[in-house]
Amino acid sequence: MDLLTVHTRSAEGDTSEGVSRGLRVRTMLAAAVGPLVTGYAAVAAVLALVTAIASRAEFSATGVLLAAGPGWLAAYQVPLHIGGQPLGVLPLLPTLGVCLLVARTAATAAQRLRCTEPVRVVPLLGVIAGAHAAAGITISVLADGDALGVEPLAAFLVPALLSAGAATVGTARQCGLVAAVRDYLDPLALHGLRAGALGLAGLLAVGSLTLLVAMALALPTASELFARNAPGVGSATGMFLLSAGYLPNAVVLALGFATGPGFSLGTVSVSPFAFTGGPVPGVPLLAAVPETEAGWWPVLVLLPAAVGALVGWSLRRVHDDPLVRLRTVGVAGAVVGFGTVILGTFAGGRLGSGAFDPVSVPLGLVSIAAFGWIAVPGGLVAWFAGPHRRPAQAAAPAEATGEPAATVDAEDTEDTEDTVDAENPDEQHEPEDATEAETSPEDGDPGDGEPEDDDFPDPDPEPEDDSESDTAVTGDGPDADEPEPEPEDDEPGDDAEAEGDAEPDGDGKQA
């Protein structure tokens, strides 16, 4: 029976809050394989559609299925080699799609597995990342090295990292990761992170607006490129899908232009303050690249400055101290600068080995410029638009000593009173009525006219033995009725006062 009991407890320990082992296995398997199959099927469907309706393409089911594997790797931003030429600038729209798919699948799996703690979701993330790594390395091995080549290490790592990051984002709220981070970080740091996300979204909106204006101005050129390079419905559909896939890349390049450093496409370099022209690929989306420089371009830098002012306005009330608000704005600027580095890294890359290589934004300059556009206007707005509650001048000593102002004031008052008492020692020891000082100890209780102990502070008596003091107070000793010896006093004017002090009152205390 003991063996059966131990076995039963071990089986129960393998479950997580009532989730059976079979359900756990099925859920993890679906979370690992589901995004792979769905992503591969989506890529194969797009390729089949384009080759089927294109006028100059020949449809082949086997060719579509074989090409869908490298297309799946391209969706995960794995660089390819086509005919010996590198292709590193890959469309970001499919990447966003597969990341959303992985995040949604992971969130559903975490909910079914009842993962309420960050530790419980780690196996799920590991299974998803491992499945993507295995799929990537398999496709890289099966790819034809002459027509299509893939670096095995990149095919192994990049899909695993992207899928793990997307799954983490998808399960962050379900598994309590968001709450754990909120409890761990300082509230001001959380405000800075939220403001940084707002600033990064604002800069992306600025890039989108800049691209929209450029496309509106170059609309005739885009129409001409469609008619010349994509005749027919099928070719036009493929060209439209290609331009749509690279639309997020163009937004990031336009963001680099609006912030100041600009972007480069091979020999072409464009920024609000400098321009170098040259040939560009015949893609309608690239019609937004200007052919000549315009003098009004520097006005566009007001847009990221407005985003920085918006960030500062959102942080104007996070704290009463302006310096603390400036530090929070700095956190937001750092988040924006780091985000632009990540976006610029994925948006650019190699494009063959000719005049169009590479497509890039200067990551260092763009990150510094983005930080500046957030920190400087945002800091000014947060400083002047927020409250300016300064501590009172009287509280300055309290800040120096680390104690409240009321305590310091009380201590100053006590010090003043002690100074006055030290300057007038005779006045505080002189009794109000001489007759009350001569009251004999046999009278018991003092008269009604006796001053209270709180009205006059007791003089400092000569050091006495504790036993003698107790005997004088209680009056139980044999010498209780005997008066105490008179204290010696060198001043002749205080003889009467000394005689009055030598006789104890009814309570056994000296007057």
Beta strand extents in 53-120 (DSSP E only): 80-82, 85-87
pLDDT of residue 352: 85
Short-list 209, 190, 169, 205, CA closest to 335 = 190
Q: How far apart are CA 507 and CA 511, in angstroms?
A: 10
| Domain boundary assignment for the chain | 19-184, 186-390, 394-423, 456-511
State which amino acid sits at residue 303. Answer: L
Beta strand extents in 230-304 (DSSP E only): 263-265, 268-271, 274-276
Percent of the chain with pLDDT over 70: 72
Short-list 63, 39, 36, CA closest to 52 = 63
Task: Identify the residue with better confidence: 459 or 59.
Answer: 59
Instruction: Please report which confidence band the pLDDT of residue 392 belongs to, taking 50, 70 and 90 as the band edges.
Output: very low
Alpha helices in 386-465 (DSSP H): 396-401, 405-423, 425-429, 434-437
State which amino acid sits at residue 341. Answer: V
CA dihedral 45, 48, 50, 53 (to 10 degrees): -130
pLDDT of residue 435: 39
Write the CA distances from 370 to 125, 185, 302, 334, integer angstroms. Answer: 33, 24, 12, 9
* pTM, entire model: 0.73
Mean pLDDT of 278-294: 91
User: What are the pLDDT digits (tens) for 409-449?
Assistant: 444 444 444 444 444 444 444 444 433 434 444 444 444 44
pLDDT at 457 over 60: no
On the 0-12 / 13-18 / 19+ scale of CB atoms within 10 A, 38 is: middle
Instruction: Please report which confidence band the pLDDT of residue 192 belongs to, taking 50, 70 and 90 as the band edges.
Output: very high
CB 254 within 8 A of CB 214: yes
What 8-state DSSP symbol labels residue 453? T
pLDDT at 130 over 60: yes
CB 290 within 8 A of CB 214: yes
User: What are the pLDDT digits (tens) for 340-386?
Assistant: 999 999 999 999 888 888 999 999 999 999 999 999 999 999 999 98
What 8-state DSSP symbol labels residue 438? T
Q: How far apart are CA 300 and CA 302, in angstroms?
A: 5
252 Cβ partners below 8 Å, 6+ apart?
92, 204, 207, 343, 344, 346, 347, 361
Instruction: Please report which confidence band the pLDDT of residue 52 belongs to, taking 50, 70 and 90 as the band edges.
Output: confident
Short-list 260, 240, 246, 250, CA closest to 209 = 250
pLDDT of residue 53: 83
pLDDT of residue 73: 95
List the beta bridge partners of residue 274: 271
Three-state secondary structure along 474-486?
HCCCCCCCCCCCC
Q: How far apart are CA 340 and CA 98, in angstroms?
A: 21
Both tokens of 340, joined, read 């632009």
Nearest-5° Cα angle at 340, 93 to 40? 25
